[in-house]
Amino acid sequence: MARYDPHAIERRWQAIWEDEGTWQVPNPGDPGFDDSKPKDYVLEMLPYPSGEPHVGHLKVYSVGDAIAHYRRRNGFQVVHPMGYDAFGLPAENNAIKTGEHPRDATWRSIEEFRRQFRSWGISIDWTREVATCDPAYYRWTQWIFLRMFERGLAYRTEAPVQWCPNDQTVLANEQVIDGHCERCGALVEARSLEQWFFRITEYADRLLSDFDLLESWPEHVVTMQRNWIGRSEGAEVTFRCEELEIDFPVFTTRPDTLFGATFFVVAPEHPEVERLAAGTGHEDAVRAYVDEAIRSSAEERGAEDRQKTGVPLGRTVTNPVNGERIPMFVADYVLMEYGTGAIMAVPAHDQRDFEFARAFDLEIRQVVAPPDSGEAPIDEAFLGHTAGEVLVNSGSFDGMPATDAKRAITNWLAERGLGKAAVNYRLRDWLLSRQRYWGCPIPIVYCDRCGIVPVPDEDLPVELPDTDDYAPKGQSPLAAVTDWVNTECPRCGGPATRETDTMDTFVDSSWYFIRYLDPRNSERPWDRRATDYWMPVDQYIGGVEHAILHLMYARFFTKALADIGELSVQEPFASLFTQGMITRGGAKMSKSKGNTVNPADLVERHGADTARTYVCFMGPPDRGGDWVDEGVEGVHRFLSRLWRLSEEVVERTAAGEMPGDLGGAARELVAKAHWAIAKVTRDIEQGFQLHTAIAAAMELVNKAYELKDALYDDAAGAAALRFATATAASLIFPFAPHLAAEAYESLEGERVWEQPWPEADEALLERDTFTLIVQVNGKLRDQLEAAAGAPEDELLRLARESENVRRHIDGREVVKEVVVPGKLVNLVVR
């Protein structure tokens, strides 16, 4: 008998799928489009092509492909595309080091990814492939940017950036490690530069409320996004500095504690700091403090257990509720990025204000107290989160429950024009400018006469020019390409210069799933007919590391594009599955640790089917797991067993109808096959339990081995064996498609992927007998065979007859009999 030779099998089927374009699906209106099937869009996050694929890629695409295959065989028209997130820093850093153009390194890597994905037999519609660094793609990234610009959703403003004083360059967040430059180790500084932003904050509320529109997202991802958006309800209250006649609005979630404000703090970056300190005699101290604060990194400022610091400004503001003048401070625990960059400090009811008050010996006045207990001892801030607290020391509001007082005080302020109800978000606008070469150029021109001018659509794409110097020098490497930078103003024809920053790569990946649906369109970014049909993505699969940024940006883009009138859905991804990370020896795989597994080697040694099945079998796919080489062997053994079984069955049995009434071993095996169908179906359907689905297929194969020698003798047995083996192949197909196709073809003469997903026959799942569990006082005492439909009294009789049961009840009184028909009997004795 032939040995299981994965390479020959895999080559054969991959060639068939390639030649026949098996996984290609037409769009509505295209020839061959089948509108009788419901659509299904299965998508895995696109890879960043760097070097060659690693096991993480093997896992996402194995899991995703299993789902795609499963859905196809359940009657769906499945689109399952692939592409490359091909702009980005690693290729550029490589260019700085070696001088090789990032484009060349990237395309070389894309070639390798393609080759390996094909060698894995992933069922991709390759006609839809895109790469974000291709001008035919980024032309439309620019087009979307321009539509956003027209709507005010893309805007330019001055903003602080991370600056490396040694390299004279702006750094992306990812390039700042613990406040230091990734490349030279210098302490990073904050600088202010003109930057482009997307106004994602305008969508904060919709990004929150539209979680309701999602079908199935992991709860923790929704929670992470919710926390990231960080919506807080409260009030904006105006404190006035009478001496300088400046109003200072603050945001607070606790307007009920307004009477407890005993001082006022502004952030070191606050624009009024210098004016406030001027002429107070505190100027020098304030300037020294502000300089120090601005120089230190966010890391240092936010360090845990750090003492509160700050300096007095020598000014006061007036508390609008009681007219009290309270002293002003500048302190770095107040952040310019959140709220208004200034706070009212209520030390009795805020931990940070409390610590500051302690350090500076300021008044701590309690204004909220539990209803009965009076005032709390002042050794820590009373945070007042339990229900029922009432106001104290709060003038006419005394005695009012704190929850009511929030509204009452806000209303009181609003009537007098001193404040209003307000909502604040932690979410900031999306800074998309990167002073980098290998990214999508921002299609904007600056003209002395016309100002900021968008590049007209017909001039897109603004192509990335070539250069040989990729090193950043305080501005984008593009700035040095003067031929390209100097251009004509599209509006007035006068001299103008191009924007030299490129876009954050998250922009490229915020809409790729739409482009897949109409990837060759050169007139428009996509045809609405295609997107109306295919969108949203029904099942999105990828790593948790993208739980916040990528997923939120893509949601934002989808909403913005819907508002612009280019899409008809509000949410891009109806269901999301996040897969866990594979480790080895308990540690993240890395070249420096030398614990990596190379998928190409793995496929070379065991074949793609083994590699794919193993990553799905390791454990719950959302949880990640530790790579064990022996485990791979185990899966390979299982696939070999299935292979040999199928060879043997083909050789020793003839194809034929299975008789309707089976008995003995034949019946047992057929019942097991139906059990496996039900189990695999339920496990895939309910929460991606792929590992237990594979275990069920293993059980079926084990049962066939156990019974096969008794089954070869008669036609009914042979038919049962053929059925069970073909079923095992059919069920393992989503995971090991090549082997399954080969085995199924030799057994049934059909292509397994063209067969509908098998259905479990309820009648065959039922057995004529079952194992009756007999307990005494809840302890297992015997296991008996009982007839399937046996009535309760019959089961009780059987149980009482058991010798072991009798030993445990003799001489005692049976006070209760619990019977669960078809399952167990429990006798309670005293």
Partner RNA sequence: GCGGGCGUGCCGAAACUGGUAAACGGGCCGGCUUUAGGUGCCGGUGCUCGAGAGAGUUUGAGGGUUCGAGUCCCUCCGCCCGCACCA
**Out of 110, 334, 367, 444, which residue is the one contacting RNA (CB under 7 A)?**
334
**Out of 640, 650, 715, 760, which residue is the one contacting RNA (CB under 7 A)?**
640
User: Which residue, chain included where needed, has tokens 């005010």?
Assistant: 152
Tell me which residues in 282-321 interact with RNA (CB under 7 A): 298, 301-304, 306, 308
Residue 539 CB, nearest approach to RNA (Å): 20
> Distance between CA 808 and CA 810 in Å, rounded?
6
DSSP-assigned states of every residue in 535-583:
PSEEEEEEEGGGTTHHHHHHHHHHHHHHHHTS-S-S-SEEEEEEEPPEE
Residues 702, 705, 708, 709: what is their CA dihedral angle, to the nearest 10 degrees? -140
> Distance between CA 634 and CA 587 in Å, rounded?
22
Contacts of 131 (CB under 8 A, 6+ apart): 49, 83, 84, 86, 106, 110, 137
Q: Is 719 exposed, middle or buried (0-12, 13-18, 19+ CB in 10 A)?
A: buried
Tell me which residues in 674-693 interact with RNA (CB under 7 A): 689, 691-692
> Any contact of residue 781 with RNA (CB under 7 A)?
yes
Judged by beta carbon, residue 27 or residue 238, the one nearer RNA is 238
Tell me which residues in 692-751 interact with RNA (CB under 7 A): 692, 694-695, 698-699, 702, 705-706
> Any contact of residue 461 with RNA (CB under 7 A)?
no
Residue 614 CB, nearest approach to RNA (Å): 9
**Out of 288, 423, 587, 780, which residue is the one contacting RNA (CB under 7 A)?**
780
Stretch that binds RNA, among 448-456, 496-504, 715-723, 774-782 (CB under 7 A): 774-782
CB neighbourhood size of 374 (10 A)? 9
Judged by beta carbon, residue 532 or residue 629, the one nearer RNA is 629
Residue 35 CB, nearest approach to RNA (Å): 36
Tell me which residues in 215-234 interact with RNA (CB under 7 A): 219-220, 223-224, 227-228, 230, 232, 234
> Any contact of residue 672 with RNA (CB under 7 A)?
no
Q: Is 493 exposed, middle or buried (0-12, 13-18, 19+ CB in 10 A)?
A: exposed
**Residues 565-597: b if buried by 16+ CB within 10 A, e if exposed:** ebbebebbbbbbbbbbebebeeeebeeeeeebb
Judged by beta carbon, residue 127 or residue 783, the one nearer RNA is 783
Residue 735 CB, nearest approach to RNA (Å): 13
Judged by beta carbon, residue 127 or residue 227, the one nearer RNA is 227
Judged by beta carbon, residue 475 or residue 640, the one nearer RNA is 640
Amino acid identity of 73? R
Compute the half-sphere exposure of residue 129: CA atoms within 13 Å on the CB side of its CA.
15
Task: Sketch the per residue contact string, 792 through 821, with RNA: x for CB under 7 A, - otherwise.
Answer: ------------x--xx-------x-x-x-
- Provide the β-strand partners of residue 266: 330, 342
> Any contact of residue 548 with RNA (CB under 7 A)?
yes
**Out of 773, 784, 794, 806, which residue is the one contacting RNA (CB under 7 A)?**
773
**Contact between residue 124 and residue 22 where contact means Cβ atoms under 8 Å apart:** no
> Any contact of residue 439 with RNA (CB under 7 A)?
no
Residue 775 CB, nearest approach to RNA (Å): 6
User: Which residue, chain included where needed, has tokens 């080697």?
Assistant: 601
> Any contact of residue 424 with RNA (CB under 7 A)?
yes
Q: Is 654 exposed, middle or buried (0-12, 13-18, 19+ CB in 10 A)?
A: exposed
**Out of 31, 417, 778, 811, which residue is the one contacting RNA (CB under 7 A)?**
778
The two beta strands, 537-543 and 433-434, are: unpaired
> Any contact of residue 249 with RNA (CB under 7 A)?
no
> Any contact of residue 618 with RNA (CB under 7 A)?
yes
Residue 116 CB, nearest approach to RNA (Å): 25
Residue 575 CB, nearest approach to RNA (Å): 17
- The long-range contacts involving 143-148, CB below 8 angstroms and separated by at least 24 positions, are 143/457, 143/460, 143/525, 144/511, 144/525, 144/557, 144/561, 145/442, 145/443, 145/503, 145/507, 146/443, 146/454, 146/455, 146/457, 146/460, 147/561, 147/564, 147/566, 148/198, 148/560, 148/564
**Contact between residue 663 and residue 710 where contact means Cβ atoms under 8 Å apart:** no
Judged by beta carbon, residue 128 or residue 584, the one nearer RNA is 584
> Any contact of residue 267 with RNA (CB under 7 A)?
yes
> Any contact of residue 246 with RNA (CB under 7 A)?
no
**Contact between residue 111 and residue 70 where contact means Cβ atoms under 8 Å apart:** no
- Provide the β-strand partners of residue 582: 625
Judged by beta carbon, residue 251 or residue 412, the one nearer RNA is 251
> Any contact of residue 826 with RNA (CB under 7 A)?
yes
Judged by beta carbon, residue 168 or residue 783, the one nearer RNA is 783
Judged by beta carbon, residue 585 or residue 656, the one nearer RNA is 585
Stretch that binds RNA, among 196-204, 365-373, 411-419, 778-786 (CB under 7 A): 778-786
**Residues 503-535: b if buried by 16+ CB within 10 A, e if exposed:** bbbbbbbbbbbbbbbbbeeeeebbbeebbebbb
**Contact between residue 58 and residue 612 where contact means Cβ atoms under 8 Å apart:** yes
Judged by beta carbon, residue 160 or residue 634, the one nearer RNA is 634
Stretch that binds RNA, among 182-190, 271-279, 459-467, 772-780 (CB under 7 A): 772-780
The two beta strands, 433-434 and 502-503, are: antiparallel
Judged by beta carbon, residue 253 or residue 755, the one nearer RNA is 253
Stretch that binds RNA, among 124-132, 147-155, 244-252, 534-542 (CB under 7 A): 244-252
Amino acid identity of 388? G
> Distance between CA 350 and CA 360 in Å, rounded?
15
Residue 615 CB, nearest approach to RNA (Å): 11
Please report how the helices 599-606 and 102-120 are oriented relative to each other, as an axis angle in degrees rounded to 10: 30
Q: Which of 25, 10, 41, 163 is nearest to 531 (CA)?
A: 41
> Distance between CA 231 and CA 229 in Å, rounded?
6
Stretch that binds RNA, among 68-76, 199-207, 251-259, 551-559 (CB under 7 A): 251-259
> Distance between CA 266 and CA 263 in Å, rounded?
10
- How many residues bind RNA (CB under 7 A)? The answer is 85
Judged by beta carbon, residue 534 or residue 627, the one nearer RNA is 627
> Any contact of residue 597 with RNA (CB under 7 A)?
no
Residue 523 CB, nearest approach to RNA (Å): 40
Residue 43 CB, nearest approach to RNA (Å): 23
Residue 351 CB, nearest approach to RNA (Å): 7
Tell me which residues in 463-522 interact with RNA (CB under 7 A): none
Tell me which residues in 18-47 interact with RNA (CB under 7 A): none
* H or E segment to which residue 337 belongs: none
Judged by beta carbon, residue 473 or residue 807, the one nearer RNA is 807
Tell me which residues in 341-360 interact with RNA (CB under 7 A): 341, 343, 350, 352, 355
Judged by beta carbon, residue 370 or residue 620, the one nearer RNA is 620
